[in-house]
Structure 1
Amino acid sequence: MKRRDFVQIAGLGLGGMMLPLGLLGNSNPVSIEALLESPLNVLQKKQIADAALNTAKSNGATYTDVRIGRYLNQFISTRENKVQNIVNGESYGVGIRVIANGTWGFASTNDVSPEGVKKATMQAVAIAKANSKFQTDPVKLAPNASHGEVSWKTPIQKNAFEIPVAEKVELLLAANAEAQKNGASFVNSNLFQVNEQKYFASSEGSYIDQDIHRIWPTFNVTAIDKAAGKFKTRQAMSAPMGMGYEYMNPKQEDKLSGVVPGMYLYKNSYDIIEDAGLAARQAKEMLSAKSVDPGKYDLVLEPNHLGLTIHESVGHPLELDRVLGYEANYAGTSFATLDKLKAGNFNYGSKLVNIFADKTQPGSLGAVGYDDEGVKCKQWDLIKDGVLVNYQAIRDQVHIIDQKESHGCCYSQSWNDVQFQRMPNVSLAPGKDPYSVQQMIKDVEKGIYIAGRGSYSIDQQRYNFQFGGTVYYEIKNGQITGMLNDVAYQSNTQEFWNSCTKICDASDYRMFGSFFDGKGQPSQVSAVSHGSSTTRFNGINVINTGRTI
């Protein structure tokens, strides 16, 4: 991949969330035909897993899990009327994790054979025994029932890898053409597709075969005013989803009317051509839109925007390893310390705020049947009626918060990386009473409607923050009066969520997602979604990002 192409892709409003190494060369380039092949059947996978399990036991391991992983990806990049890049990638191998002498050990190999995994398993046991000399407290694993031989698949209708590349290129180029027809000076579009084929086996008797699919169409358009020497950009309003190629076939019932004429938002399918045309028109409108006056405003935040705020101000600070300080060197700590959970009355937000974690939400990026420790996934509450009630924790963590069952949120980005606690889907529950976006706008005297993601900044404890968006519209006396520029809002996590005064009902519920959420050392990425309905926050401080002091 050329440096210029990387810079363009990395600048697509990812908000600091990085591209997966597999899409940039960590995996082996293969043909599309090879992507559709299956090197091992389930019986062969079980035989290889058993070779590792038996070897670990005979060498003194008290617990073992084996992950046979085949990670496939396809990335298509276009600019205006040209194809810039098409990448098919495959990464294939086995990771073995053991407990010996009360200590973790891990090793991996790309030799997917009984002999290869035996050698890697002996290395994992040797590492555990070496580490045990420095381990002060033995690993404590929460109980996990044996699931026997089970399977789970993302319920896709169309496998994106089976769709001809030419058809996908044609769609991206059509979106580019629509953007240019509506006034875009430049446009690039991209399509990411991922398929994780994962087989998990453990010494506790589970043999779990999973087939996981994700997709993300996106673009960036730029409109230029040459006379004024100005330019404005608008990125796609798409959300990465845990779906197949059916996401790219728009359905009328999935299209929700926005707050301005001609503006549509998308729920469970996506019209990239329609959105590209709207993006170009909005980018042109931004060139002449007025700059915001700083001050206090009521904010109406649509789900594609609010998802990132949820991710940063709720998802990350409620990861138990971050709370415990394990991430301090890389990603920071958390203001939501253990004493706040133990108190049982820490006011995280208003009584309207109910935020839950869920690894089973249909269509979400994090949806799986079982996590990478073989724990059956579920939903659980993090914030109930505004009060902090739980964290995100895995098998060797939950005893720290006096719980006896893993939350099922352990994940590894590949077979050659060790699994650890990762953020599940973290979502804001919709309002219980019928209430539309249009009604919410009518209830606002002085406010701003914000849609789409933008730049953000948040401190190392996930407390003080600033967020921007993609498009902004001023609200006066219950009416949208026009577009705004240079908007960002500032608050702290507790003050912000306590300012939540109204949430639209479930008919407006949609998901934002991060394909590439980074964490850990060595760093890994994971995919996670955040659902919400359009939500109102009163009296939030808005600054003008275009003015200098």
Structure 2
Amino acid sequence: MERRAFLNIGGLALGGLLLPPFGRAIAAEELLKPADVKFKKLLADTALGAATQAGASYADVRIGRYLNQFIVTRDLNVENVTNTESAGVGVRVIANGAYGFAATNDMSPDGVAGAARQAVAIAKANAKLQPEPVRLAPTPGVGEVAWATPHTKDWRAVPIKDKAEMLIAANKAGMESGASFMQSLLFQVNQQKYFASTDGSYIDQDLHRLWCPFAATAVDKASGKFRTRNGLSTPVGMGYEYFDARKEDKVQAAGGVTTLYRKSYDLIEDARAAGKQAKAKLTAKSVEPGKYDLVLSPEHMWLTIHESVGHPTELDRVLGYEANYAGTSFVTLDKWESKKFKYGSDLVNIVADKTEPGSLGAVGYDDEGVKCKRWDIIKNGVLVNYQATRDQAHIIGEKESHGCSYADSWSSVQFQRMPNVSLQAGKKKLTPDELVKDVKKGIYIVGDGSFSIDQQRYNFQFGGQLFYEIKDGKITRQLEDVAYQANTQEFWNACTATCDERDWRMGGSFFDGKGQPSQVSIVSHGSSTTRFNGINVINTARKIG
């Protein structure tokens, strides 16, 4: 009944998308039925008691109810509407110095007690092979507390008809402005997560998330050539009010090439621009390879931050614990211990933050019951910290966890996952247009595209959605077939300017993969428009050799 991942969109390959089941299909009205908190506490106490009696020195229990609604449209038709529910209990323990984990969808006292005893048995078996005992950083119990994603409009209460009509209206706008085909989706998530531990915490959280991706495809019927421009929306941790676009949230891209948004989103306006821009791609000039100064929008920067800073500063990757899924990290402990490793220029200040309002990673407490916070990873260009959970904190001399433990389901064990990792805005007043003024030969990139990065998170290549030539301080014509190449350290040390907080906004991912068995997590990354000098650009359409 449980699927460990929604789906792998793979660069938003919307054509041919089939939504797999995630839990059991349910009627839409079931989404609004609340789960009883007293019953969850009863189950939690039963699991904790059974684990302790079986020999656990520590235990935590996560009771989860995961509700999802997916709506898929193509052109002027609704292709699919799916409502799903997945519910169950996961129990993690430490016994004889080792972890054990077991899960069940039998949400009865006997069912959870059985899972707890099974987790202890697994821990005792693991202890025979474990050279050192697990060391958990202390975390005070918080008693009974509740936290919910701030929102004013619950997506579950919005009629499906209204949502489908919004998507179809966006498709129509894109087709009227130049797209031959349009596909749009709406992902809606509600996670009801109850955490309890032998530390004395009973934490009830109600989490809401949205994402509305689309693809506008323009076709030249004479040649068969086609080009696509994907949507520039941000996946968010908020309610359906995200689609109530506000004038104060509008941000004009450099050179006025398109309208962007901070904390709300006009789907119709973006779709209309996408249709026009997808058509323009058909006749855009193919880029000449060479060295360019790059001006990167936040809608593009989030992915570069994610791959070249977020993943390599995950402590389990650094230590080699995470290796098979997308590799380890070049940011080894000796670089941190030196206190002088220049990850980037002095302008590069990157923080981890699980409290940023509206972000995907914002929660009150992580999946170990640790209160979430903000901390520095790179300060004035120097590596100063990593991302660590309770059992990793002592390795880097931390007295407490960073609060970045996460499991994608009640049936998955929690482990270190990326918090929101963001580039801080520049301290000097600077707009995107002012940033462009002294660029002699450059390229302005908006939106994320395909990418590739090596197993150490060091050598990489990134594309995008929209590319514009910058010549003598002005944004001129649209370009195509652009990708830039660099290694992580040289790229971030080439950072020469970043716009101020007026331009700062987030992008993010609904499907950040890690672990074996694989899990997906959600994460946001913020930045302002940022400049990088002398970066190698290749033409992706030209044959090599």
TM-score range, shorter chain: over 0.9
1:345 counterpart residue number: 340
2:199 counterpart residue number: 204
Deviations 1:340-394 (A, max 9, x none): 0011100000000000000000000000000000000000000000000000000
2:386 counterpart residue number: 391
Q: What SS does the corresponding residue of 2:465 show, helix, strand or coil?
A: strand
The alignment status of 1:405 with 2:416, answered yes or no, reads no
Q: What SS does the corresponding residue of 2:401 show, helix, strand or coil?
A: coil
1:3 counterpart residue number: none
1:48 counterpart residue number: 43
Which of 101, 125, 134 matches 2:129? 134
Q: CA deviation at 1:8?
A: 11
Q: Distance in 1 between matches of 2:20 and 2:92?
A: 27
Q: What SS does the corresponding residue of 1:149 show, helix, strand or coil?
A: strand
Q: What SS does the corresponding residue of 2:212 show, helix, strand or coil?
A: strand
Which of 416, 424, 430 matches 2:419? 424
Check conservation: 1:327, 1:333, Cα contact below 8 A.
yes
2:523 counterpart residue number: 528
Q: Distance in 1 between matches of 2:528 and 2:238?
A: 20
The alignment status of 1:28 with 2:45, answered yes or no, reads no
Check conservation: 1:255, 1:264, Cα contact below 8 A.
yes
Q: Which letter maps to 1:344?
A: K
Deviations 1:199-249 (A, max 9, x none): 000001000000011000110011011123311100001010001100111
Check conservation: 1:444, 1:476, Cα contact below 8 A.
yes
Q: Sequence identity, in percent?
A: 66
Q: CA deviation at 1:35?
A: 1.0
Check conservation: 1:262, 1:278, Cα contact below 8 A.
no
1:482 counterpart residue number: 477
Write the mapping of 1:43-442 to structure 2, written as runs, cut at 5 A: 43-261=38-256, 263-442=258-437
Q: CA deviation at 1:444?
A: 1.0
Q: Distance in 1 between matches of 2:313 and 2:11?
A: 28
Check conservation: 1:412, 1:418, Cα contact below 8 A.
yes
Check conservation: 1:75, 1:87, Cα contact below 8 A.
yes
Check conservation: 2:51, 2:117, Cα contact below 8 A.
yes
The alignment status of 1:507 with 2:502, answered yes or no, reads yes
Q: Distance in 1 between matches of 2:329 and 2:93?
A: 30
Q: Which letter maps to 2:471?
A: K
Q: Which letter maps to 2:495?
A: C
Q: Which letter maps to 1:125?
A: V
Q: Which letter maps to 2:30?
A: A
2:438 counterpart residue number: 443
2:3 counterpart residue number: none
Q: Distance in 2 between matches of 1:110 and 1:260?
A: 54
Which of 454, 457, 460 matches 1:459? 454
Which of 21, 33, 38 matches 1:37? 33
Q: Distance in 1 between matches of 2:13 and 2:318?
A: 28
Q: CA deviation at 1:29?
A: 0.4
Q: TM-score scaled by structure 1?
A: 0.96
Q: What SS does the corresponding residue of 2:282 show, helix, strand or coil?
A: helix
Deviates more, 1:321-330 or 1:93-102: 321-330
Q: Which letter maps to 1:293?
A: E
Q: Distance in 1 between matches of 2:257 and 2:100?
A: 56
Q: What SS does the corresponding residue of 2:386 show, helix, strand or coil?
A: coil
Q: CA deviation at 1:330?
A: 2.2
Check conservation: 1:334, 1:461, Cα contact below 8 A.
yes
Q: What SS does the corresponding residue of 2:463 show, helix, strand or coil?
A: strand
Check conservation: 1:151, 1:209, Cα contact below 8 A.
yes
Q: CA deviation at 1:278?
A: 0.3
Q: What SS does the corresponding residue of 1:176 show, helix, strand or coil?
A: helix
Q: What SS does the corresponding residue of 1:192 show, helix, strand or coil?
A: strand
Q: Distance in 1 between matches of 2:60 and 2:355?
A: 22
Q: Distance in 2 between matches of 1:166 and 1:471?
A: 32
Q: Distance in 1 between matches of 2:144 and 2:294?
A: 49
Q: Distance in 1 between matches of 2:327 and 2:348?
A: 25
Would the alpha carbon gap of residues 261 and 534 (structure 1) be closer, same or farther in structure 2, given more than 3 Å must change? closer
Q: Which letter maps to 1:413?
A: D
Q: Distance in 2 between matches of 1:357 and 1:548?
A: 40
Q: What SS does the corresponding residue of 1:433 show, helix, strand or coil?
A: coil
Check conservation: 2:363, 2:372, Cα contact below 8 A.
yes
Q: CA deviation at 1:188?
A: 0.4
Q: What SS does the corresponding residue of 2:426 show, helix, strand or coil?
A: coil
Would the alpha carbon gap of residues 102 and 391 (structure 1) be closer, same or farther in structure 2, given more than 3 Å must change? same
Q: What SS does the corresponding residue of 1:288 show, helix, strand or coil?
A: coil
Q: CA deviation at 1:261?
A: 4.0
Q: CA deviation at 1:158?
A: 0.6
Q: CA deviation at 1:259?
A: 2.5
Q: Distance in 2 between matches of 1:246 and 1:7?
A: 25
Deviations 1:473-497 (A, max 9, x none): 0000111111001100000000000
Q: Distance in 1 between matches of 2:379 and 2:291?
A: 28
Deviates more, 1:323-332 or 1:277-286: 323-332
Deviates more, 1:258-267 or 1:294-303: 258-267
1:12 counterpart residue number: 12
Q: Distance in 2 between matches of 1:318 and 1:427?
A: 13
Gaps of 5+ in 1: 1-5
Count of residues in Structure 1 that have an aligned counterpart in Structure 2: 537
Q: Distance in 2 between matches of 1:410 and 1:7?
A: 22
Check conservation: 1:13, 1:454, Cα contact below 8 A.
no
Coordinate RMSD, CA, aligned: 1.4
